[in-house]
Every structure is written in C-alpha cells, then in structure tokens.
Amino acid sequence: MDKRIIRGVFLKAVYPVYYLAARAVGVKSDRLQIQMIKTNNSLVRWEFKKRATKLLLLLPQCIQRDECRIKVTSNIFNCARCGKCEIKDLIEIADEFKMKLYVATGGTLARRVVANTRPEAIIAVACERDLSSGIADSYPMPVLGVVNDRPNGPCFNTRVDLKLVRQALLFFGGNEPARS
C-alpha cells in the first residue's frame, strides 16, 4: 500500500474515530492532538524520502510579541529584528534555507498561503489544536508540525524551539542549507 495513503487513512479515518472515542472516556483534547501530531510527523518521515526544493515555514501570529509596534502578519520581513521574539531567528533560518516564510492569522489564511505558494512540503508551528486540524486539512501535502510553547497562556507571546524547526527543515531539505 502507498505510504501516503496510509497517512491519509490515519488522518481522515483512524484519528477522528480515536479522538471521539477517547474524548467520550474523558481523555483531554490536547493529549490526543499531540499524539496525532507525533504520529503524523512519524508517518511523514517514513513516507517522504526526497529533497523538497519548495519549502514553506508557516507560523502563528502569536509568535510575535504583543508589544511590538511592527505587525508582521502582512509581511514578516517588516520585522525590526530586535530579538525579543524568535521571528528574527526564523527569518535567518528561512534565508539560510532559501524557503518561504509566512505568518498566518488563522486557518483560512494558512490555507490561502499554501494554495498560493504551492510548496512541496510544510513545516508548521502552532498550538496542538491548530496544528492537528491544519495537518488534516492539508493532506496529502506532507506537513511536519512543531508545537509552540505557551509560557503566557494560549495565543499570547508564544515561543518555538528553533532546534525543532531546524530539524524539520533539515529533514525536508537535506543535510546542508542552501547556499547562494
């Protein structure tokens, strides 16, 4: 059986049934969503073996500090690169790997960005809820999900482990970043 079909069966049939059954017995949603993201990431790593030349790094708007006066949702490269959030580092990583980088304000915009950029693969950073639904919505596109850290609660001054983002990029992009 095609590896991509196995991932599709998991995302579209197995996970929804598992989710409903587990919720019925009181398992918390975030635990189920984290397990779905981990399983998807494992299936993508098992399935995807070629180098992706068109990568997309998709970020949530909550990764930007709330006190920042320069909003990066329309163009992330407007960032002042002050270093108070990880956007400066993520821009540097995207430049290093010669890849597209966008901040999405929600699922509708994220889907539009994917449709407009037509990547071969996506690295998505978000909370469990947004990642799990975005991964399922994006099938058959290979998506590696990186759950963001929320030291101040949900949707407010979130952070991301740059090492995990870099690992996902190296998986899709090979062992060396693109050089100009």
Give the predicted TM-score (pTM) of the model.
0.91
Ramachandran class of 65: left when φ > 0, alpha when ψ lies in -120 to 50, beta otherwise: beta
Expressed in percent and rounded to 5, the helix, strand and coil fractions of the chain are: 50, 15, 35
Chain mean pLDDT for the chain: 91
* Span 120-136, pLDDT tens digits: 999 999 999 999 999 99
User: Domains of the chain by range and CATH?
Assistant: 51-173 (3.40.50)
84-93, 103-112, 168-177: the lowest-pLDDT one: 168-177
Q: What is the pLDDT of residue 130?
A: 93
Q: Report DSSP state, residue 62.
A: G
**Res 180 pLDDT > 50:** no
Q: What is the pLDDT of residue 152?
A: 92
What angle is formed at CA 163 by the lines to CA 27 and CA 79, rounded to 5 degrees? 100
In the three-class reduction of DSSP (H, G, I as helix; E, B as strand; rest coil), residue 155 is classed as coil
**Res 175 pLDDT > 80:** no
Percent of the chain with pLDDT over 90: 76
Instruction: Report yes or no: 100 and 94 within 8 Å, Cβ to Cβ.
Output: yes
* Span 126-171, pLDDT tens digits: 999 999 999 999 999 999 999 999 999 889 999 999 999 999 999 9
Q: What is the pLDDT of residue 174?
A: 55
Average pLDDT over residues 53-63: 93
* Span 13-45, pLDDT tens digits: 999 999 999 999 999 999 999 999 999 999 999
Instruction: Report yes or no: 103 and 63 within 8 Å, Cβ to Cβ.
Output: yes
Instruction: Report yes or no: 161 and 146 within 8 Å, Cβ to Cβ.
Output: yes
Q: The tokens 């790593």 sit on which residue? A: 45
The number of beta carbons lying within 10 Å of the beta carbon of residue 152 is 12
